[in-house]
Amino acid sequence: MIFYRNNDNLMCKIFVTILQGEAQDWFHTLQPQSIRSFDELSLVFIKEYSFYCSIKKKFDHLSNVKKNLNESIHEYVKRFKAEKVKIFGCNDSITSAAFQKGFPADYSLFGELIMKEDLTLADSFTLVKKHAL
């Protein structure tokens, strides 16, 4: 990256390719076109992850993330992902169960999410996305 330090666009693109796991999930929660330079991206990233170093959340935190009545599915998924990245080493099956239980019981998709066995978090997100279309 040192070779490209004068090219902000390229630096941002290279930076994104090295992110993995929770950091990559966090990156995808950023609003489109909200970052204008690599310096700004660096600052936002450091601010986000220095916060997580001092305050760690546990798995049970996700059980408190519920879909609000006036919230769209897209907004709920985005908010859930933002909360998920605050937990280090998040177990997929526990995370998937918390996501599914975040829907109200009378929500049309709730039964379908609960009835499917071994549904990963990615599968749940895909199912919800298809339902939202």
Predicted TM-score of the model (pTM): 0.55
Contact (CB, 8 A) for 57 and 86: yes
Percent with pLDDT over 90 in the chain: 1
Fold (CATH) for 59-132: 1.10.1200
User: Which has more confidence, 48 or 55?
Assistant: 48
- DSSP-derived letter for residue 24 is H
pLDDT tens digits, one per residue of 52-89: 554 567 777 888 899 888 888 888 888 898 888 877 77
Does 41 have pLDDT greater than 80?
A: yes
Q: What tokens does 70 get?
A: 């006036």
Most confident of 66-70, 93-97, 123-127: 66-70
| Every domain range in the chain assigned CATH 1.10.1200 | 59-132
Give the pLDDT confidence score for residue 55 in this predicted structure: 53
